[in-house]
């Protein structure tokens, strides 16, 4: 059943649809994690341009907590191949991706902002919570975890942190902003937008 805005009401058939969306998003995120990092330095812990984060944030703003969970599990699935990375690091970096998506999802709900960025207010909320704060915290979790488990030495922490932060700021600004402006009307017309956290 759909309401007047074309979105699915909280019903069992919509739950199945949202689970299917979650599965598809997880696979897309996993592929982006595995194959979508550009200009990657040779040393683990010094990130390149992580394209996945640009899509993950848009997915979260379109599909709520399904998108946030898909960011976490998509990272785990996509990063399983390099077996020499400790499981704790995979979990922490997956957590960083989850937090980078969760913060704008919560902010857009709290402030009733439109993911289509239709007003100046929507854009400011996005820039504050979907571009800057979330990436600031995500980079801290990611680089901090690498430091804690000894993958990077203290002298490389700032390079890892700022590389992570600046790379994600670039990707989020260029990818997420375009996806939200162009993709949100299409997602709404298809009736698959998750307007609340779960439905």
pLDDT in tens, 76-110: 999 886 656 788 888 999 999 999 999 999 999 99
**pTM of the full structure:** 0.90
CB distance 163 to 47 below 8 Å: yes
The domain spans of the chain are 12-189
Q: Which residue has the tokens 């670039």?
A: 170
Percent of the chain with pLDDT over 90: 71
pLDDT tops 50 at residue 4: no
Q: Which residue has the tokens 């400011």?
A: 124
DSSP state of 2: B
The CA angle 138-46-38, to the nearest 5 degrees, is: 90
Nearest to 48 by CA among 148, 166, 178: 166
- Top-tier CATH class for 12-189: mainly alpha
């Amino acid at each position: 059943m759909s309401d007047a805005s074309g979105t699915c009401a909280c019903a069992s058939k919509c739950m199945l649809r949202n689970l299917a969306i979650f599965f598809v998003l997880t696979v897309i995120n996993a592929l982006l994690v595995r194959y979508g990092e550009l200009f990657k330095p040779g040393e683990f812990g010094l990130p390149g341009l992580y394209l996945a984060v640009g899509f993950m944030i848009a997915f979260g703003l379109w599909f709520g907590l399904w998108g946030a969970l898909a960011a976490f599990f998509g990272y785990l699935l996509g990063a399983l191949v390099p077996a020499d990375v400790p499981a704790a690091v995979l979990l922490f970096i997956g957590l960083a991706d989850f937090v980078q998506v969760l913060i704008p999802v919560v902010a857009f709900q709290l402030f009733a902002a439109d993911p289509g960025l239709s007003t100046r207010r929507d854009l400011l909320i996005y820039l504050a919570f979907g571009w800057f704060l979330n990436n600031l915290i995500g980079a801290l979790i990611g680089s901090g975890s690498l430091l804690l488990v000894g993958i990077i030495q203290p002298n490389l922490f700032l390079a890892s942190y700022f590389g992570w932060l600046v790379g994600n700021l670039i990707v989020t600004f260029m990818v997420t902003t375009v996806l939200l402006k162009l993709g949100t009307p299409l997602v709404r017309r298809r009736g698959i937008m998750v307007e609340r956290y779960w439905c």
